[in-house]
């Protein structure tokens, strides 16, 4: 009689080497139909983010940067440096996050990691945009299409990342994705939804 062998279990949350727990974050502003978005990508891990801004004031940028830094901090990572071009030169690091060093590239130069990432996002967003049958796109839909591309880039292992098996999303958050929740519908699909309502006159 054969003995039952134990299944080999592959961990999706293996510990990250300490060298990668200190994050260098590249940032830039991109525009979609005059909507400014703060784009960030971490060196090595290659975890990207996009946040629509109300305007291009430093106050809006501080708030957006704090949101993404909180995500890293919540999962045990530390932002050590932020790399940006001249438009971020006068930012006050004490208003961003304690212990962060802001490095600004020289005049007329750009941070290559985030510039390349923005080109990739734009290419994917244009591809989806032109595949949809709509004649008019509300600004919110344009932004959500872009968010969807950033999400998809994060959930597959990056060629330039620290792991060929784990995605940037999994490395940073420790969680994976679910087909029924994240992959069942294509961007722009028509769906029928039910929303709970009451007997009052609210819309």
CATH number of the domain bearing residue 151 = 3.30.420.10
- Is the pLDDT confidence value at 9 over 50? no
Per-residue confidence (pLDDT) for residue 10, from 0 to 100: 42
Residue 13 domain flag: no
Residue 5 domain flag: no
Residue 196 domain flag: no
* Nearest C-alpha neighbor of 71 from the set 42, 103, 36: 42
Provide the sign of the torsion angle of the four alpha carbons 128, 41, 183, 148, taken in this order: negative
Q: How far apart are CA 7 and CA 29, in angstroms?
A: 47
Per-residue confidence (pLDDT) for residue 12, from 0 to 100: 53
Residue 4 domain flag: no
Percent of the chain with pLDDT over 90: 65
Mean of pLDDT values over 121-150: 92
Residue 169 domain flag: yes
Residue 34 domain flag: yes
- Is the pLDDT confidence value at 101 over 80? yes
The number of folded domains in the chain is 1
Neighbours of 43 (CB within 10 A): 17
Q: How far apart are CA 64 and CA 75, in angstroms?
A: 18
State the residue range of the domain holding 135: 21-183
Mean of pLDDT values over 5-16: 54
């Amino acid at each position: 009689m054969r003995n039952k062998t134990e299944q080999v279990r592959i961990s999706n949350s293996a510990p990250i080497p300490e060298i990668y727990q200190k994050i260098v974050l590249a940032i830039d502003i991109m525009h979609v139909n005059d909507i400014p978005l703060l784009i960030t990508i971490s060196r090595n891990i290659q975890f990207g983010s996009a946040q629509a801004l109300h305007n291009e004031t430093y106050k809006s940028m501080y708030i957006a940067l704090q949101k993404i830094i909180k995500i890293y901090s919540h999962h045990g990572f530390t932002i050590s440096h932020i790399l940006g071009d001249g438009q971020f030169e006068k930012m006050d690091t004490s208003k961003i996050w304690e212990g962060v060093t802001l490095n600004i590239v020289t005049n007329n130069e750009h941070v290559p990691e985030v510039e390349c990432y923005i080109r990739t996002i734009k290419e994917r967003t244009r591809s989806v945009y032109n595949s949809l049958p709509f004649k008019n796109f509300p600004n919110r839909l344009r932004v959500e299409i872009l968010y969807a591309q950033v999400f998809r880039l994060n959930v597959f292992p990056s060629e330039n990342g620290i792991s060929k098996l784990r995605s940037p999303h999994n490395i940073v958050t420790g969680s994976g994705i679910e087909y029924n929740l994240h992959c069942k519908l294509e961007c722009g699909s028509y769906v029928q939804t039910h929303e709970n309502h009451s007997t009052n006159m609210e819309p």
